[in-house]
Amino acid sequence: MRVIIAEDSVLLREGVVKLLDHAGFVTVASVGDAQALLAAVDEEVPDLVIVDVRMPPTHTDEGIRAALQLRADHPELAIIVLSQYVEEHYAVDLLTGRTRGIAYLLKDRVADVDEFLGTVRSVAEGGTVLDPEVVSQLLSRQHGRDGVELLTDREREVLELMAQGRSNAGIAAALHLSDSAVSKHINAIFSTLDIPPASSDNRRVLAVLQHLSAGARGIRGGDGGGEEPR
């Protein structure tokens, strides 16, 4: 597993390099700014990138913008974004669209070595990992009703595929449904999860967040009231 690390704090950057090397990953580059990250990815073709949200020269959003560019240019590249604080809009930006192989973590999580390495392995295998604090803050703006367990079996299947970053067409192909049936299921999911059309956040992102949050709590669906005909 080839990894590139982009972090302007030399201490943290070198610490992560040592952790990964000890765990059997191969760090092919470690850089301190977003432009160097983009160049290193083109040169080294890594499997995974770990990048800080705020990087030189302005220390605002250079890292997250580089991550979004990498998602567009290298769709199969796994990306872990590290942030000092919960910055909700960055998490939403990162999760808009394809969500496989993505993580958004607070830097404090790196201190738990086993958990951090588990996240690295999960994301490298296509998993999606969000820091619990990020999930908590994003969901706190909803009405607090835990609606995932109210979804039908089919709606949970659709939501699971949404969480994997599938488009409507991709979901339709995977479940052998028509495009109109998928749209109907997705609208029903939004309604059950209480995600209104006027929401300023991406509705699919908020639905996926509720799915991930429910999974972390071990929610399992019952019969869900059955499913509609295909």
How many CB atoms are closer than 10 A to CB 120?
23
Q: Provide the whole-model pTM.
A: 0.67
In 3D space, the residue among 142, 134, 62 whose CA is nearest the CA of residue 104 turns out to be 134
The 10 Å Cβ neighbour count of residue 33 is: 18
Domains and CATH numbers, the chain: 2-139 (3.40.50.2300), 148-216 (1.10.10.10)
In the DSSP assignment, the letter for residue 221 is -
Residues 59-77 as b/e (b if ≥16 CB within 10 A, e otherwise) read: eebbbbebbbebbeeeeeb
Q: Which of 129, 151, 120 is nearest to 225 (CA)?
A: 151
Sequential pLDDT tens for the chain (230 residues): 999 999 999 999 999 999 999 999 999 999 999 999 999 999 999 999 999 999 998 988 899 999 999 988 998 999 999 988 777 677 777 776 666 788 888 888 888 899 899 999 989 988 888 787 776 666 555 444 467 778 898 998 888 887 766 778 889 999 999 999 999 998 898 888 877 775 544 577 777 777 766 655 554 344 433 333 33
